[in-house]
Chain A
C-alpha cells in the first residue's frame, strides 16, 4: 500500500509569495495531521482533521497559514504571504480512528515532508 504522499518534496520561493503544500493520506485513514519541524522548535502539530473537518488549529502560527481538506484523499496547507521564518520541513501524517474518541492511541503515518525555504 502507498504511504502518505506529499508534494513538492522541496520548495524554494521568495518572501511574499504564496506557497501551497499538498498531501494525500493513506486510504481509509480518517485523521490527517499537519506538522512543522525546525531545529529550534522540533516537531510541532499545526492542525488536524477528522473526516475532512478541521478539529484543532490552535497550532497554526498565524492567519497567514490556512489548511483545507476538500475530500478524504487530499489536503493542502497554504502560506500567504510567506516569510523567511516559515522556512522549515512540513510533514503530513494520517491515522485511523483509535478506541473511543481518542486518536492518540493510534500510530501516525508520516510522509517524507516538504522542505520549504523562503528567501
Chain B
C-alpha cells in the first residue's frame, strides 16, 4: 500500500540556520508533490508544487527538490526565523492515483 513518511515528528533548529525536512514515499509514482504549512488551529496553506520532471523549485527562502529515483523530496527553509515554526506537510498526487498527505513534521525555530 502507499506510504508516505516525513523525517521526524518534530525538528528543532536555531534561528538563522537552514531547516531541512524530508518526505519519502513507497508504492507510489507521483506526478506532483506539494508542500503545505499548517499552524495550530488553522487549515494547511499551500507553499510550493514540484512536478516529476523538475529537480528543484525555489520561492524566496524556500527550496524544494524532488528525486523520483530515491522517491524523496527535500524541503529547505534558509535563514530560518521563529515565525517559520509550524507543521509542514507534503502531499503526493498524480492522474489516476490517490492524493495523499504525509503525517507532517513539526518545526520549531528557536531564537
Contact = CB atoms under 8 A, between A and B. Distances in A.
Contacts of B95: 100-102, 104
B25 interface: no
Contacts of B99: 45, 104
Contacts of A102: 31-32, 93-95
A113 interface: yes
A104 B98 CA distance: 9
A42 B101 contact: yes
A109 B44 CA distance: 8
Contacts, number: 54
Interface string A92-103: 010000001111
Interface residues of B, number: 24
B93 A105 contact: yes
Interface of A: 4, 42-45, 91, 93, 100-105, 107-113
27 contacts: A42-B101, A42-B102, A42-B104, A43-B44, A43-B89, A43-B101, A43-B104, A45-B98, A45-B99, A45-B100, A45-B101, A91-B44, A100-B95, A101-B95, A102-B93, A102-B94, A102-B95, A103-B93, A104-B30, A104-B99, A105-B51, A105-B93, A108-B44, A109-B46, A111-B43, A112-B41, A113-B43
